[in-house]
Structure 1
Amino acid sequence: MTRALILDTETTGLDPTTGDRVLEVAAIEVVNLLPTGRAFHRLINPERDVPPEASRVHGFTASMLADKPLFAAILPELLEFLGDDPIVAHNAPFDFGFLDAEFVRAGVPKLSRSRMVDTLEMAKKRFPGLPNSLDALCRRFGIDLSQRTTHNALLDVQLLGQVYLELMGGKQPGLALATAGGGSLRVAPAAADAAPVSRTPRPIVPTPEELERHAAFIAKLKDPVWATLEG
């Protein structure tokens, strides 16, 4: 069993070194590339203003977050959910950088970079020279984007889970993926009464001319091994 976490954060800006903070964190659990239905999602009071340009991206304002817990309060539960497994994110250094800053502020060791799986880098290697944003990848893989009107972290990790599955090799033969409640993926087994596939044998029979050419080729071989074997 291979467990990983698909993670996304929303923030007050682009640079934690200038005081920008995490205001939303979401993660879903995947086992053998498929979501299990377990999720972590928290809105956070960033303890600072939320610039209008950031609000236009994710839809959150400072007043909407004023009564939410501080990052330090949600950190123990987040760490328990993440465990020691790989963490998958799109443009993962961005999310890891913000989490680093929050962890340091809370006096907790940073996440090991050995756990980081960056789907943006995976996409760049697979589709060099093409747009590889989450939206672009969803469109390329035929993943429904109709609910993505803002950059909501919980919706983004659900979409990224589907993108990650595709980047790792696509939907497995014989499995149908269905969206369950909350947008997580479930394996839908094939119907029990599905008709078996019928195949007609197509034996390959060489022509006399092909047999003659084959015999002529064999005759040219020097000391073939099978000539020493008893019939």
Structure 2
Amino acid sequence: MEILNSLIANLQTPMFLAFLLGIFATLIKSDLKFPDGMYTGLTIYLLFAIGLKGGVKLNSTSIEEFYKPAIVALMLCISIPIIVYFLLTKIGKYDKANSAALAAHYGSVSAVTFSEALAFLESLHIPYEGYMPSMLAIMEIPAIIVALFLLKTNSSQEKENLSWKKVTHELFTGKGTLLLIGGLIIGILSGKKGHEQFAPLFEVPFRGMLILFLLEVGIVTGRRLSDLKQA
């Protein structure tokens, strides 16, 4: 019963309802659309905000409290893509490239899902460890590397095409990684004093920005619903 109540409460959050509104707007062929670049701007805001807030929390967290969850998070994002890859190739009979792509997605972390989870917990006044955003940063890259490694070692074609130097550069200099890790470092170094300076922009408006982001995600999802018929 408690799980059902939690599910109903989650479906009633403004974030999820905004997502449904985006899908509905597409289905009725509304002219609702976001200005060019706004989606990218919202993505940058959310990732940077998560990193900053996580860094501040991590600033006051002891290593003893942090290292065990970090090890578990790392083990999960390494083991999940391995399991998914072999399930898809051996049982699902998927080709190796698609298996690796799906394995990377399942093993990595969705910043939007993470943001929605935090907002949901906060709406129910359920406390959670302040270092959780750092777990997001830790789990962002390893699953992708593992999936690429599986593809490279199991595909004769990809052994020649895949450049580890190029892949590593793209992973560590990509927008998501740079904003999350950069935000974490800034938050750690600036601490509570820094938090007081950025809180008005990155703390209070966070949920509002998340609602706008999920509205756009709903619009994009609505446009892609027809792809289900081809899958």
The TM-score normalised by the length of structure 1 is: 0.27
- Structure whose alpha-carbon radius of gyration is higher: 1
Q: More relative contact order in 1 or in 2 (CA 8 Å, sep 6+)?
A: 2
- Structure (1/2) with the larger strand percentage: 1
The TM-score normalised by the length of structure 2 is: 0.27
